[in-house]
Amino acid sequence: MSYVKKTCPICGKEFFVLKKAEKKATYCTLACLIKAQSKVEYRGMTFPSLG
Ligand SMILES: [Zn+2]
């Protein structure tokens, strides 16, 4: 099985994911995923037109 190195857009940490899971795995941890989602919601409220 091959692994792909990715960089978490939230904390900047490098991590490895299975190549077949690459598209699903954007963040290094669930905590970063939650942060990313709350950021999107926050932006959505601040700049509704950029949605
Ligand atoms: Zn992270």
Strands of the chain, DSSP E: 3-7, 14-18
Average pLDDT over residues 29-50: 72
CA 9 – CA 51 distance, rounded (Å):
19
Split at pLDDT 50, 70, 90, the class of 37 is confident
Distance 42 CA to ligand 1 centre (A): 18
Distance 10 CA to ligand 1 centre (A): 5
Distance 25 CA to ligand 1 centre (A): 11
pLDDT recorded at residue 5: 96
Distance 9 CA to ligand 1 centre (A): 7
| Overall pTM surpassing 0.85 (yes/no) | no
Average pLDDT over residues 6-27: 94
Q: Enumerate residues 6+ apart whose C-beta is below 8 A from 40.
A: none
Split at pLDDT 50, 70, 90, the class of 47 is low
Split at pLDDT 50, 70, 90, the class of 51 is very low
